[in-house]
Amino acid sequence: MPVGVEAAPLLAALHGRAFPPAEAWGPDAIAMMLGLRGAFALLAQEAGEPAGFGLARTVADEAELLTLAVRPDARRRGHARALLVGIAADAAARGARALFLEVSETNAAARALYEGVGAVEVGRRAGYYADGSAALVLRLQLET
Per residue in 67-77, pLDDT (tens digit) is 999 999 999 99
Q: How far is CA 35 from the centre of its chain?
A: 16
Structural domains of the chain ordered from first start:
2-141 (3.40.630.30)
Q: What local confidence, expressed as pLDDT, does residue 60 receive?
A: 92
Residues 111/124, Cβ–Cβ less than 8 Å:
no
Average pLDDT, the chain: 95
Taking the C-alpha atoms of residue 84 and residue 128, their distance in angstroms, rounded to an integer, is 23
Question: What's the pLDDT band for 130 if we cut at 50, 70, 90?
Answer: confident
pLDDT at position 2 over 70: yes
Q: At what angle do helices 108-116 and 79-93 cross, to 10 degrees?
A: 50
Question: What's the pLDDT band for 131 if we cut at 50, 70, 90?
Answer: confident
Phi, psi at 60, each rounded to 5°: 55, -125
Beta-carbon neighbour count of residue 104 at 10 Å? 16
Q: Which residue has better confidence, 111 or 23?
A: 111
pLDDT at position 137 over 70: yes
Q: What local confidence, expressed as pLDDT, does residue 144 receive?
A: 65
Per residue in 115-127, pLDDT (tens digit) is 999 999 999 999 9
Start-end of H helices in 19-107: 27-34, 79-93
| Long-range contacts at 64-67 (CB < 8 A, ≥ 24 apart) | 64/99, 64/100, 64/101, 65/99, 65/100, 65/101, 66/33, 66/39, 67/15, 67/25
Per residue in 24-57, pLDDT (tens digit) is 999 999 999 999 999 999 999 999 999 999 999 9
pLDDT at position 22 over 90: no
Beta-carbon neighbour count of residue 61 at 10 Å? 13
Per residue in 79-108, pLDDT (tens digit) is 999 999 999 999 999 999 999 999 999 999
Residues taking part in catalysis = 102, 114
Taking the C-alpha atoms of residue 118 and residue 95, their distance in angstroms, rounded to an integer, is 19
Residues 115/84, Cβ–Cβ less than 8 Å:
no
